[in-house]
Amino acid sequence: MVSGRRIFADFKVFSRGFLRNKFGLFFGLIFPVILILLFGAIFSGGSSGTLYVYAQNRDNGSNGYSLSTTYLEAINKTETLQVITLENSVNFTTYMSQNSIENGLTIPEDFTVRYTTYQPVNVTVYTNPSGSTGGTVLGIIGAINNRFNLGAFNGSTLISITQQNVGSQESYIDFLVPGLIGFAILVNPMFSLVEISSQYKKNKLFKQLSLTPLTKIEWLTAKILWYIVLSSMSFLLMAAVGIFAFGANINLTVWLIPFLILGPMLFASLGMLVGTVTKNPETAGVIGNVVTFPMMFLSGTLFPIAFMPEYLQTFAHVLPLYYIVEGLNNVMVYQNYMAAVIDIAVIAILTLVVLVLAVKLFKWRED
Amino acid sequence: MLPIEVSKLQKNYGTLKAVDGIYFNVKEGEVFGLLGPNGAGKTTTIEIMEGLRARDGGDVEVLGLDPWKKGYDLHKKIGVIPQEFTFIEKTTPREAIVYYADLFNVKVNPDEILKDVLLEESAKTYFEDLSGGQKRKTGLALSLVNTPELLFLDEPTTGLDPNARRAIWDVIRGLKAKGKTIILTTHYLDEAQQLCDRVAIMDHGHIVALGTTEEIIQKHGSGERLEIHGSEKLAEYIRANTELLVDYNKARGEILIPLKKKIDALAALAAAEQSGMDWGQIQTRQDSLDDVFVKLVSEPLGEQGEVAIENSGKKKRRR
């Protein structure tokens, strides 16, 4: 018979031990926040996606007038591209390769003359085929060229663009918060239970506990409860940092509760399963890493899985964490609760299977 | 009903017979010692009695219960310190006692238990920072939380320094004085002699001697003998001129004469005097538990902790 008193007693001892261990506390609560600060700063901070284009303006102008200056200003005004002008004495291609510059632009000597006399003229755009920014640079310069072409003939724009966002206005930080919450839900219970269940087995602590009325289900329940508490604290911290430090636009509802309960349950059980079926703490650690690391990075934690090649996306679907991160995204970013229900169902079934397996295979005493 | 009744107990690990059909009982209020070298089967036997291991054959009743089938009920009535007791690192002995009290659903005064095991000064030290002796005492304290009638102590002092061992002995004597039945394993002979009312000496899964230490010495020891420091020639002289059995230990230059009667000593000494040869120190001596143990057990005592059963199951020739 399961006893709440015994679960609470074990919970008390375990949580106290956890809180007294500065290392555990750091990885449990502080580390995920550092990750959010770090990735938040890298991807949504000051750089705001500005691309630098190195330009050499060889235009001689015409009667003291230089169209190329206006042209380069127009490029700067896009705010996506920023022009850095090089002296004409510099050998452009040598400079580009020596300084590992990805994007460049040269304007020919007769630029103004030919434009003002309605003759075709060519600017040269240099891009690095292996880089990811070339397309953007070509596209923007092409658009600027069209504007100048229309301007030359006093033409007007017929087709224009109005921008509309799909759903709410998502930015990278909006994905990062649920992703890293998923990360914390995975890492804390998983690593901890792999370690303690293999360590307790080795130093015979399980054997000792089997001499008390505490049952293995009560023991595991106490651990799960603690990791639900820890994951919830971690969630609140990360959501606060996301919202207040980066202005994340995330939705906080009761729909998050199933994830904060089932997630720690699933990974605590999985950790215990790994610790139980392996022979010693060393093997347990290795197997634990093999199970955990792919999930840490390939489940949409640090970036949406749509960024990954197709075979990795397929692989992501077998990772339990994928459904938690996807579910958290569905709730927090898209507010798509119907989809979240499916994620919750998948997680619930997985949790049940892993939990039953872990409890069945886990031995208090030997025979 | 006796607290412990064991008959024909068997346990095999693969082809190795770790415990090979042993019988013994433990009486109420008794301190009973399982003595033996590493790998003799002591821990296997004690763990079977504690309900931590299944047996392969025979009957075991502990407080009237089958320990394997009724382990959960039994554990509420017994106290156990497993070999090399460990606990959750960042927990103090006092917290550990409160934890166990919650698990057993009993009300205890932690300070009283700490006092019983002489651990008051370390009540608030984390387990990981305790000394070896203090850790063992914490184990003792935890085994007392449910006020058990019966205590199992598996090598309670192995690896401890002499002072820590004596402190643990004091605790065990205190528990005995309170009327607890205690069963302990040890490979220290002095510990058995100091603490145990009766001992069973185990070797390769068998009990090779059982009783009080005096009984064992009397039964398995060689009895009283006269030892005379002297030459082999003198030994021959005594042998020729008396009806006594005379043995000579060349290495120690000692003439050994088993004494059936005390008066035999006089005859031997008279013969020695008559010989006109030189002889030195004389003494009469009895086998100690050490001597008996070495005779009975195929391997000398080691100071290391119990090694997992690694010897072949075959019984070696007794020395």
- Are A56 and A73 contained in the same domain? yes
Do both A241 and A275 map to the same domain? yes
Averaged pLDDT, A181-209: 91
Q: What mean pLDDT comes out for the span A266-289? A: 92
List chain A residues with CB under 8 Å of B75: 210-213
Instruction: Please indicate, yes or no, if residue A23 is contained in any of the structural domains.
Output: yes
Q: Is residue A28 part of a domain?
A: yes
Judge whether A161 lies within some domain: no
In the β-sheet with B279-285, what is the strand arrangement from edge to edge?
A: B247-249, B254-258, B225-230, B279-285
Q: Are residues A141 and A65 in the same domain?
A: yes
A208–B103 C-beta distance less than 8 A: no
Q: Examine the domain organization and report whether A202 and A90 are in the same domain.
A: no
Q: Assign residue A119 the CATH number of its domain.
A: 3.40.1710.10
Q: In this structure, is residue A3 part of a structural domain?
A: no
Residues A203 and A90 in one domain: no
Residues A22 and A102 in one domain: no
In a domain, A1, yes or no: no
Which DSSP state fits B172? Answer: H
Q: Are residues A39 and A148 in the same domain?
A: no
A97 part of a folded domain: yes
How many Cα atoms are found within 13 Å in the side-chain-facing hemisphere of A242? 28
Contacts of B71 in chain A (CB under 8 A): 210, 365
Kind and range of the H or E run holding B24: strand B16-26
C-beta atoms of A12 and B87 within 8 A: no
Domain check: are A232 and A117 in the same one? no
Q: A237 and A352 share a domain?
A: yes
Please, what are the averages of pLDDT over each run of 10 residues along chain B (319 residues)?
Answer: 92 91 94 90 92 92 93 91 88 95 94 89 93 90 92 89 88 91 90 92 92 88 86 90 88 87 88 88 84 75 38 37
Return the residue matching tokens 């926040």.
A33
Our count of domains for chain A comes to 2
Q: What is the pLDDT of residue B279?
A: 86
ipTM over 0.90: no
H-helix or E-strand spanning residue A145: helix A134-152
Q: How far apart are CA B289 and CA B33, in angstroms?
A: 14
The beta-carbon contacts of B256-264 under 8 Å, at least 24 apart in sequence, are B256/B225, B256/B226, B256/B227, B257/B225, B257/B226, B257/B227, B257/B228, B258/B222, B258/B223, B258/B224, B258/B225, B259/B223, B259/B224, B259/B225, B259/B226, B259/B284, B262/B224, B264/B226
* Interface membership of A213 toward B (CB under 8 Å): yes
CA distance A176 to A90: 43
Q: Which domains does chain B have, with CATH numbers?
A: 4-77+148-219 (3.40.50.300), 224-285 (3.30.70.100)
A333 and A206: one domain?
yes
**Strand boundaries in B155-236, DSSP class E:** 181-186, 198-203, 206-211, 225-230
CB pairs under 8 A between A and B: 72
Sign of the Cα pseudo-torsion (B217, B221, B224, B227, in order): negative
Range A246-261 average pLDDT: 91
Last residue of a domain, one of A123, A152, A181: A152
- Closest-CA residue in chain A for B68? A367
Closest alpha carbon within chain B to A4: B103
Q: Give the span between the Cα atoms of B103 and A8, in whole angstroms.
A: 9
Q: What is the pLDDT of residues A29-76, one digit of tens each?
A: 888 889 888 888 877 654 456 788 999 999 988 888 888 999 999 998
Q: Which residue of A has its CA nearest to B12?
A: A367
Query: Are A40 and A174 contained in the same domain?
Result: yes
Q: Are residues A40 and A90 in the same domain?
A: no
Whether residue A4 is contained in a domain is answered as: no
CB spacing of A213 vs B102 below 8 angstroms: no
Residues near A181 by beta carbon (within 8 Å), at least 6 away in sequence: A32, A234, A235, A238, A239, A328
The predicted-structure confidence for A184-194, as pLDDT tens digits, reads as follows 999 999 999 99
A9, A21, A210 ranked by CB distance to B52: nearest: A210
Within-domain flag for A84:
yes
User: Considering only CA atoms, which of A178, A186, A184 is closest in space to residue A333?
Assistant: A178
pTM of the model: 0.75
Distance, in Å, from the CA atom of B307 to the CA atom of A250, rounded to the nearest integer, reads 59
* Burial grade of A266 (CB within 10 A; 0-12, 13-18, 19 or more): buried
* Domain final residue pick, A104, A122, A152: A152
Q: Where does a domain end: A152, A178, A207?
A: A152
**Could you tell me the residue range of the domain that residue A128 belongs to?**
51-152
> Is A310 near chain B, with CB under 8 Å?
no
Q: Name residues whose C-beta falls within 8 Å of residue B37's C-beta, 6 or more positions apart in sequence.
A: B187, B203, B297, B298, B299, B300, B301, B302
> Residue A44's pLDDT is what?
62
Phi and psi at residue B296, to the nearest 5°: -80, -30
Our CA-based measurement puts residue A192 at a distance from the nearest CA of chain B, in whole angstroms, of 14
Q: Tell me what pLDDT residue B314 has.
A: 37
Q: Which distant-in-sequence residues (6+ apart) come within 8 Å of B207 by Cβ? A: B22, B23, B24, B200, B201
Pairwise pLDDT comparison (A158 vs A180), residue with the higher score: A180
**Which residues of chain A make contact with B94, given a CB cutoff of 8 A?**
none
For chain A, percent of residues with pLDDT exceeding 90 = 50
